[in-house]
């Protein structure tokens, strides 16, 4: 499966995907890393891994989001991309683009959706007093941070956490979760039915956990 990774910044999830793709049995390869920011660190990670990169800078299309997205669409199709993976891509996508990649575009979000959509998820999780937080990989739909959930990872919120320490714990989980979700899709094991993702084949059941532990 040819994957296009859309990035805007640091690119740690991209690095996790690059590492995952190095395994001989991983069912996906990165066909293009596409950034809307020319100075994104993610582009350097891609270049050092020898991956094709492209920049479509939203600032080159002032007031014309349609043309910005058409340029991204063209780059993705030109690279033969079959699945678009948003990995810290920080622009909201228009309905036409989301429709054009319906069921072929996924996102990773740093919360256990549907809780804490949007920004500042770690700070809001601490303020809400939840005992577990985490991350979600989901298919992209018209509404922000909505869509059928492929996989989630939970991490505990600890008494001394601040937003940074919690973000670090969630990010480690993201780096395991995104490759897992892409593996399931690449192996053809996922089907979307009635807004839910069904996974074929055996899946180990994780143990139940409490926080505080008992």
Give 64 or 162: the residue with its C-beta nearer to ligand GAR.
Answer: 162
Among candidate residues 109, 122, 133, 175, the one labeled active-site is: 109
Burial classification of residue 39, based on how many CB atoms lie within 10 Å of its CB (0-12 exposed, 13-18 middle, 19 or more buried): exposed
Give 22 or 24: the residue with its C-beta nearer to ligand GAR.
Answer: 22
Closest CB 166 distance from ligand GAR, rounded Å: 11
Q: Does 147 bind ligand GAR (CB under 6 A)?
A: no
- Phi-psi domain of 80 (left: phi exceeds 0; alpha: psi -120 through 50; beta: other): left
Q: Does 165 bind ligand GAR (CB under 6 A)?
A: no
Count of residues engaged in binding ligand GAR, rule: CB under 6 A: 13
Q: Would you say 13 and 178 are in contact if contact means Cβ atoms under 8 Å apart?
A: yes
Dist CA 12 CA 186 (whole Å): 21
Q: Does 181 bind ligand GAR (CB under 6 A)?
A: no
Q: Return the residue of 4, 11, 134, 179 that touches ligand GAR, per CB under 6 A.
A: 11
- Assigned token pair, 170: 């969630």
Burial classification of residue 214, based on how many CB atoms lie within 10 Å of its CB (0-12 exposed, 13-18 middle, 19 or more buried): exposed
Dist CA 203 CA 187 (whole Å): 13
Q: Return the residue of 154, 171, 192, 199 that touches ligand GAR, per CB under 6 A.
A: 171
Q: Return the residue of 37, 45, 109, 183 that touches ligand GAR, per CB under 6 A.
A: 109
- Residue 211, SS3 per DSSP: coil
- Give the residue at shortest CB distance from ligand GAR: 88
Closest CB 212 distance from ligand GAR, rounded Å: 26
Give 137 or 184: the residue with its C-beta nearer to ligand GAR.
Answer: 137
Residue 58 designated active-site? no
Which residues are known to be catalytic? 109
Q: Where does this chain bind ligand GAR (CB under 6 A)?
A: 9-13, 42, 87-88, 108-110, 171, 174
């Amino acid at each position: 499966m040819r994957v296009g990774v859309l990035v805007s910044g640091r690119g740690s999830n991209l690095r996790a995907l690059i590492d995952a793709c190095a395994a001989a049995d991983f069912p996906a390869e990165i066909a293009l890393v596409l950034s809307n920011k020319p100075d994104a660190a993610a582009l350097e990670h891609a270049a050092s891994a020898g991956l094709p990169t492209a920049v479509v800078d939203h600032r080159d299309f002032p007031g014309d989001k349609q043309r910005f997205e058409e340029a991204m669409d063209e780059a993705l199709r030109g690279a033969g991309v079959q699945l678009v993976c948003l990995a810290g891509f920080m622009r909201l996508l228009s309905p036409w683009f989301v429709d054009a990649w319906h069921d072929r575009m996924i996102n990773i979000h740093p919360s256990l959706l549907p809780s804490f959509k949007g920004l500042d998820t770690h700070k809001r999780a601490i303020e809400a007093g939840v005992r577990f937080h985490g991350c979600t990989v989901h298919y992209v739909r018209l509404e922000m941070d909505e869509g059928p959930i492929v996989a989630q990872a939970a991490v505990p919120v600890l008494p001394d956490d601040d937003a940074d320490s919690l973000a670090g714990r969630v990010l480690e989980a993201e780096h395991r979760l995104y490759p897992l979700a892409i593996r399931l899709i690449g192996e053809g094991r996922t089907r979307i039915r009635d807004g839910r993702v069904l996974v074929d084949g055996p899946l180990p059941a994780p143990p139940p956990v409490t926080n505080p532990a008992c």
